[in-house]
């Protein structure tokens, strides 16, 4: 058994620091890029350009190139990115925005905050992403926009969603907080990066995301120059010219230290994704053939960047009991998301689609996410997967 990280050479840190299994291990990752970050931070102190400074501009340019997007606009966080995207579309109060309920609440929150109406759409049982047929059925006369969420790191069926959007004249804002770097393949064989397919793409650089900074950060991608200009203006108090507000905007910007961190990490993103895929492959092989465990499904049209490795447990298994068992063995695990948006107190009053959201309701009870990050070691993966199987066995024995 090896104690090495899957792709990187062991870091210089002592074993005890990295030994404890973590859901996300940012400390070990930091120690590998420490020098670049320290140098960049020093530069920020030297120039004192603390907000939207040169490191932020350099990073946005590099990210635009990586994604093949015309413009990347920095902002304060992923939630702001989504809010700004909606603000740029000139929607009217009460207009409807179609969104999955099985997502982080931020996606629905910004819709409600702007006086728009979220219409929650059910998910595909295999991909956990917005279901194209359910989407089609949820469209009404006031529908104006769709926000697909690329949950856990796999892109939604964007070609189907874009076709529906075109048919009904709807905007598409991609919530790409979890799938940065993932590739989508169209029927004609062409590919695009997640977040660059809809009219606007949004992402979060929250520390635990696949491309995370050391605080809050977010970005908006736009190909249309007019939209890009408007988004930039909205994020800066509606100003194009200083002290001249033509629009009611907000204050949402990225500080230069975060630009340094992201600039240092972006060149490693593909290797980070590779490490996550290797960890997922290990889990897959360990769980292969256990019919009570549904492994993460891989859609043909998308690559998976494994923001999360999420198992869907068979109904015969008690998900929460398995989570407790793993915790008792010092294996952290999480439920993304235990209460879907349409069941939240704050959102329950919005009109429900006919037939409800049976897949969302079901999956929220049976999903469990295992530790997933760039620093997982083979011995850790082995211990985690063996313990998962032990927990499953234990439940079967007492059933």
Ligand X SMILES: *Cc1c(COP(=O)(O)O)cnc(C)c1O
- The distance of closest approach from Cβ of residue 188 to ligand X in the complex, given in angstroms and rounded to an integer, is 28
Question: Considering beta carbons, is residue 276 or 377 the nearer one to ligand X?
Answer: 276
- The distance of closest approach from Cβ of residue 217 to ligand X in the complex, given in angstroms and rounded to an integer, is 7
CA distances in angstroms from 68 to 8, 58, 193, 264, listed in the order given: 28, 15, 7, 19
CA distances in angstroms from 71 to 18, 27, 110, 196, 219, listed in the order given: 38, 31, 22, 10, 10
Question: Considering beta carbons, is residue 153 or 391 the nearer one to ligand X?
Answer: 153
- The distance of closest approach from Cβ of residue 218 to ligand X in the complex, given in angstroms and rounded to an integer, is 5
**SS3 letters across the chain:** CCCCECCCCCCCCCHHHHHCCCCCCHHHHHHHHHHHHHHHHHHHHHHCCCECCHHHHHHHHHHHHHHCCCEEEEECCHHHHHHHHHHCCCCCCCCEEEEECCCCCHHHHHHHHCCCEEEEECECCCCCCECHHHHHHHCCCCEEEECCECHHHECCCHHHHHHHHHHHCCEEEEECCCCCCCEEECCCCCEEECCCCCCEEEEECCCCCCCCCCCCCEEEEECCHHHHHHHHHHHECCEEECCEECCCCCECCCEHHHHHHHHHHHHHHHHHHHHHHHHHHHHHHHHCCCCCEECCCCCCCECECCCCEEEEECCCCCHHHHHHHHHHCCCCCECCCCCCHHHCCCCCCCCCCCCCCHHHHHHHHHEEEECCCCCCEHHHHHHHHHHHHHHHHHHHHHC
- The distance of closest approach from Cβ of residue 307 to ligand X in the complex, given in angstroms and rounded to an integer, is 8
- The distance of closest approach from Cβ of residue 396 to ligand X in the complex, given in angstroms and rounded to an integer, is 33
Of 297, 308, 294, 279, residue with least CA distance to 366:
294
Question: Considering beta carbons, is residue 172 or 392 the nearer one to ligand X?
Answer: 172
Which residues are near ligand X by CB under 6 A? Answer: 77-79, 103-104, 106-107, 149, 175, 177-178, 204, 206, 216, 218
- The distance of closest approach from Cβ of residue 32 to ligand X in the complex, given in angstroms and rounded to an integer, is 23
Question: Considering beta carbons, is residue 104 or 325 the nearer one to ligand X?
Answer: 104
Of 238, 247, 204, 266, residue with least CA distance to 36:
266
User: Residue with CB nearest ligand X?
Assistant: 78
Question: Considering beta carbons, is residue 128 or 301 the nearer one to ligand X?
Answer: 128
- The distance of closest approach from Cβ of residue 100 to ligand X in the complex, given in angstroms and rounded to an integer, is 9
Question: Considering beta carbons, is residue 218 or 249 the nearer one to ligand X?
Answer: 218
Question: Considering beta carbons, is residue 149 or 322 the nearer one to ligand X?
Answer: 149
- The distance of closest approach from Cβ of residue 329 to ligand X in the complex, given in angstroms and rounded to an integer, is 27
Question: Considering beta carbons, is residue 110 or 317 the nearer one to ligand X?
Answer: 110
- The distance of closest approach from Cβ of residue 227 to ligand X in the complex, given in angstroms and rounded to an integer, is 20
Question: Considering beta carbons, is residue 25 or 80 the nearer one to ligand X?
Answer: 80
Question: Considering beta carbons, is residue 107 or 256 the nearer one to ligand X?
Answer: 107
- The distance of closest approach from Cβ of residue 314 to ligand X in the complex, given in angstroms and rounded to an integer, is 26
């Amino acid at each position: 058994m090896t104690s090495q990280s899957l792709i990187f050479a062991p870091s210089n840190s002592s074993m005890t620091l990295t030994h404890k299994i973590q859901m996300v291990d940012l400390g070990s990752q930091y120690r590998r890029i420490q020098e670049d970050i320290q140098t960049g931070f020093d530069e920020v102190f030297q120039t004192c350009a603390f907000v939207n400074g040169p490191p932020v501009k350099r990073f946005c340019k590099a990210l635009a190139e990586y994604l093949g997007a015309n413009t990347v606009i920095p902002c304060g966080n992923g939630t702001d990115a989504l809010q700004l995207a909606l603000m740029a579309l000139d929607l009217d109060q009460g207009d409807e925005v179609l969104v999955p309920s099985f997502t982080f609440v931020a996606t629905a929150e910004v819709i409600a905050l702007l006086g728009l109406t979220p219409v929650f759409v059910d998910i595909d049982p295999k991909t956990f992403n917005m279901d194209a047929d359910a989407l089609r059925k949820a469209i009404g006369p006031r529908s104006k926009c769709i926000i697909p969420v690329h949950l856990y790191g796999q892109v939604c069926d964007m070609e189907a969603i874009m076709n529906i959007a075109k048919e009904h004249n709807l905007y598409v804002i991609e919530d790409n907080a979890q799938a940065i770097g993932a590739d989508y393949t169209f029927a004609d064989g062409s590919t695009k990066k997640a977040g660059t397919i809809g009219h606007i793409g949004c992402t979060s650089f929250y520390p635990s995301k696949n491309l995370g900074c050391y605080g809050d950060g977010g970005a908006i991608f736009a190909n249309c120059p007019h939209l890009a200009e408007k988004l930039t203006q909205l994020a800066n108090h509606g100003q194009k010219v200083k002290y001249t507000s033509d629009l009611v905007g907000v204050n949402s910007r990225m500080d230069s230290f975060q630009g340094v961190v992201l600039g240092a990490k972006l060149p490693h993103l593909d290797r980070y994704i590779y490490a996550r895929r290797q960890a997922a492959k290990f889990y897959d092989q360990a769980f292969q053939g256990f019919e009570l465990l549904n492994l993460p499904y891989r859609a043909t049209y998308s690559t998976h960047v494994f923001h999360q490795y999420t198992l869907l447990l068979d109904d015969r298994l008690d998900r929460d009991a398995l989570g407790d068992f793993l915790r008792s063995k010092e294996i952290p695990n999480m439920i993304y998301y235990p209460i879907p948006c349409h069941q939240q107190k704050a959102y329950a009053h919005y009109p429900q689609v006919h037939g409800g959201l049976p897949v969302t309701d079901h999956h929220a009870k049976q999903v469990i996410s295992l530790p997933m990050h760039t620093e997982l070691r083979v011995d850790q993966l082995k211990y985690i997967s063996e313990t998962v199987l032990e927990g499953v066995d234990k439940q079967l024995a007492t059933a």
